[in-house]
Amino acid sequence: MPAMVLIGRGLALRPRQWLKGLPPGGRLMLVSEPKAWRLHGATVASALRRAGIRTSRHLLPGGERAKTWDAVSRLLQTMLRRGLGRDSAILALGGGSVTDAAGFAAAVYKRGIPWLSLPTTLVGQVDAGIGGKTAIDLAEGKNLVGAFHQPLAVVCDTDFLSTLSRRERLCGLAEAVKLGMVRDPLLLSGLRQDWPRLLAGEPASLDRWIRRAASGKATVVSRDPRETRGLREMLNFGHTVGHAVEAAAGFGPLRHGEAVVCGMRAALRLSQSCAGLPARTADDLDAFLRLMPVPRLRLRESDVLRALRQDKKTRRGRPRFILLKGVGRPLVNAHVPESSIRQAVRFILGEMR
């Protein structure tokens, strides 16, 4: 079953609202990473103690380093040493990398235990923390090992967002923009209208559009929880090239939201040449995406194309692309000639230099 999604201020201080599905008497492993723990760990741990919940703690490495075999193996060993059983659960406190890795550990530990997502970043609250996709990376590509494992609850405490940098906000806004482009023109127009306030971190604007983006993703997930009906695949818009660029950069200098911006810009070019997206619409959307700066990097075209062929969505050696016929009109698994893919990759690499 898809998770219960709660959105609001101060939710982390009221764990009794979202711990109702925990097995009675079970232990709770609080999984985080150093930065998120420093900012929010003591507050969450104190709230859990007041609620009478027995907890232990494990810190993953920061960023994509959380999503490795070694990091998850250490987490699983800690869970075993602390005596977690199948009546126990994991609470993931952090950004998308933490929720991905902790959710994956919950999926495989003793053939699966419950978990909850408490995302602390905008990326986590509008996208990564919602949906039950859990995964780790391999050197060859992003999210190549994983499982669908729905959390009991996704708790989006928007008070956490006051600690984010402008760069972190931009990464989360990129995922919200993606959802607007493929599914919700009203969301897209609202984000564009409120853009200066969103960049400044204005709480009222963030709350409003986080609610719409998160509820939109939750609706899609509820209708296609395991990505078997084609509906959920549209949320991969921008991710085929984006993940390849992220992998070619070495999962470090480029953040996920920034890679998605690159991928969406490539997808717009492909949408114009292969899906009939009007040139005026493509240019207008691309101009908006250019408001989201991406670090200057020199990547090799061959490395990006190699990572593209390793993408988990590839079928029969062909990458699967989500393109746009118009705003809110996605085309799933569009046929894209190899020559067009190369042109789009060259365009993106040229824009990043």
* Average of per-residue pLDDT across 217-243: 92
pLDDT at 39 over 90: yes
* Average of per-residue pLDDT across 160-183: 96
**How far lies 57's CA from each of 90, 194, 237, in Å?**
10, 38, 35
Q: Position of tokens 């599914």?
A: 183
pLDDT at 2 over 60: no
Radius of gyration for the alpha carbons in the chain, expressed in angstroms and rounded:
20
Q: Position of tokens 């250490």?
A: 74
72: helix, strand or coil: helix
Classify residue 220 by burial, with Cβ atoms within 10 Å: 0-12, 13-18, 19+: buried
Q: Is residue 29 within 8 Å of 82, Cβ to Cβ?
A: yes
Percent of the chain with pLDDT over 90: 87
Domains of the chain: 4-163 (3.40.50.1970), 166-352 (1.20.1090.10)
Within 10 angstroms of residue 181's Cβ, the number of other Cβ atoms is: 28
Angle, CA of 295, 299 and 300, to the nearest 5°: 165
Instruction: Please report which confidence band the pLDDT of residue 1 belongs to, taking 50, 70 and 90 as the band edges.
Output: low
- The span from the CA of 293 to the CA of 310, in Å, is 27
319-331 pLDDT, tens digit each = 889 999 999 999 9
Q: Is residue 34 within 8 Å of 250, Cβ to Cβ?
A: no
User: Torsion over CA of 222, 160, 194 and 325, rounded to 10 degrees?
Assistant: -30
**How far lies 306's CA from each of 269, 303, 314, in Å?**
20, 5, 12
Percent of the chain with pLDDT over 70: 99
Residue 9 is inside which H or E element, if any?
none
Pairing of strands 133-138, 55-59: unpaired
What is the pTM for the complete model shown? 0.93
Question: What does residue 115 show for φ and ψ, rounded to 5 degrees?
Answer: -150, 160
53-81 pLDDT, tens digit each = 989 999 999 999 999 999 999 999 999 99
Query: How many CA atoms are closer than 13 Å to the CA of 255, on its beta-carbon side?
Result: 26
Token pair belonging to 52? 């009478």
